[in-house]
Structure 1
């Protein structure tokens, strides 16, 4: 619900500006609302549903099932929230009669949307890894949100931030390169989380 509200708030400002494809992209990805609303909601939803069922480990005789459950849950939450965000964005664009801009900007919007949700997935992966490492969801949330805050600060200071570069003036090629970097970081954290789950008492 919060995800939908944020996308609608961002879209409602479409009426208030002289519209252009560039303005449309900026308005679809409101960095402040994403930082203050979307990311905390995403992290809280993820951490609230993260739990280990010891009976699954006993049934499958392997801790890899925990890794698979975590990745499944992370993917599911990301897909649901990205879907809600997309519906809200397209709804407001259509209502405000700015749908015709998509013909010129659809690929740029797609690249930036993938960049946004890859960044969210990476933050979620960091939060989950910290949850298993520190055995504290609070610590995991505070550290992962602090990383988001630092990245947001860098973005507002016009310094490359990786996590919030979806709202920058970077070209599509540069953003695709940054998405590749984030995917690599995700794989690293998956490996770290797997090692932690395999070695620590759950």
Structure 2
């Protein structure tokens, strides 16, 4: 059984598209993450498994592997929690959707399945828009930063369950919009003269 999602890894000031693949196979329970993951990505095993179970989904009792491609790019941080969990839930046939490869996903998962904000959202939003994806799904706290890219549909969510319900058309999430003029209006009020 196989599932695939799209995410991004920060490389300097840019974001590199990452494919997150999950493969479930028979045998004793074993969770492997391959593709040059950092320690924080390796630690996601515990967050992801708890979040899936505490969101009401069955977690695999078999051996499974998560591949982060391309394998020659180091993946750092916790932003891959959400796409990893979605790839696993899909591979376990617990989610029915054809939308997984139309969106990019970033977000840290808490043990109860709620989403936590991550760093590096703006370069991810720029790369997502340049790559022509239908949108970016991420934690609410990151929506304002990502929505600076007008041409990108940014869908904020509070939990793994909300994301899955959105992907299965059980929940409508409107794209987040930001008033950039208002957002940056305070920059005109600087007491320092600019040359």
Q: TM-score, normalised by structure 2?
A: 0.32
Q: TM-score, normalised by structure 1?
A: 0.31
Task: Pick 1 or 2: higher relative contact order, CA cutoff 8 A, min separation 6.
Answer: 1
Larger strand proportion of the pair: 2
Larger helix proportion of the pair: 1
